[in-house]
Every structure is written in C-alpha cells, then in structure tokens.
Amino acid sequence: METSKKKENLEIEGYPIEGLSISGHETCIIFPSLKIAFDIGKCPQRAIFQEFLFISHGHMDHIGGLPMYVATRGLYSLKPPTIIVPMEIKESVEKLLQVHRDMDQSELKCNIIGLNIGEEYQLRKDLVVKAFRTYHVIPSQGYIVYCVKHKLKQEYVGLPGNEIKKLKLSGVESTYVDNTMTVQNARDYGHIHLSEVNYLQKLMKHFHILYCHL
C-alpha cells in the first residue's frame, strides 16, 4: 500500500517558514505565524493570506504577482494588505496598481508604505519593521522585523532597559555556490557569493541564515 510522504516543515527559532525561491523566476518567503511575506513572486496561494508584504526591489520575479495578491485578498473579503516597498519605487508601484484598477474596474484596496533606508514602520502593537540597505543591480533593500513583547503593565510601557525584548528576523539572497562563479561575478549581478555568507555566518554566531535560492 502506497502512502503519501508527509511534507517536512521548516522552522527557525520557533517561526514556521513557507514559500519558494527560484532565481530569476519567483521568490516569496512566508512567515505565517506573523502573517508576513517577503516578496510576492507570482503570488503563491499561501501568500494571499498574509496581511503584510515586504517588497525588496522591482524585479519581476520578486514583485510580478503584486496585483493578483491585492485582487485576490479583495475577492476573499480579506482586509486590505499593508505593502512595504523601497521609497524609490513607491510611485511606480502605485501607478502599476492604478493601471490594473482601470483595466479590472475594481478598487484593489491596499496600504502602500514607502520606506527609506533606516526608517521604521509599526505594523501592529507588537510588530515593527525596519528597512536596511542591500546591494543589487537596481535599488533594493531588506527588512528587519522586531517582535516587541511588553513584560510590564501597559502604564509602564516605554521605559528603557530590559522591559522590551527584540527578536530580529532578516534575509539575504545567495545565488552562486561553487567556484564556477567568482565573488566578482556574483557582485556584477547584484548577488552574494556563498563564500561571503560563510564569512558573515562566523561573525553572527547567534543568528540563523536561511538560503532562499542557490
């Protein structure tokens, strides 16, 4: 009797991780417990149910499914999503969605937030996102998500010290694995060579690195 193999779940520091990443085709990394997705790829079904979307840059394999993401959330009567984008492409993203509104004769409700490097945005009471610089062939940025847990009563919130605990989640893209591509080749295309990531991993002893695509 043939039995189906159970899909192995990926989990880091207690956070389940879903999604897919195929270089040049589609990237969408999902943290379902936080209801956030990093990039939207071609809009995989699971991504539709994430309330917050962080776009790293404007390449099609990272942003192509954006109109479908917004439209499908509306179709399912889900709340309008909050979409964080680099400030450099905010106007273009708004124009893109407006074109689809005109063609589709629909509202495509969403909240688009442009962030500059170093800026923060409070997603909800216990969740903050901060943009940091990344290097690609077009303007790009990564995101750190801070999960803030208040350990004191509400009236004491805001005091400095150990009352606020921050958990950091971040991601980088690594494309080239072996010596068939040099570090310089990788940099020419705005990517990171595995040897560079291995060096960083030694410096960041208490962090986990998730390789999106190789």
DSSP code per residue over 159-179: -SSTTEEEEEE----EEE-ST
**Which CATH number applies to 10-171: 1.10.3470.10, 3.60.15.10, 3.40.50.720, 3.40.640.10?**
3.60.15.10
Q: What would the two tokens of residue 124 be?
A: 């909800």
Domain segments of the chain as ranges: 10-171
Q: In what order do the strands lie in the sheet with 120-124?
A: 120-124, 127-133, 141-150, 164-169
Predicted structure pTM score: 0.70
| Residue, of 48 and 211, whose pLDDT is higher | 48
Statement: residue 178 has pLDDT above 50: no
pLDDT tens digit sequence for 1-18:
444 455 567 888 888 999
Q: What would the two tokens of residue 213 be?
A: 């695509």
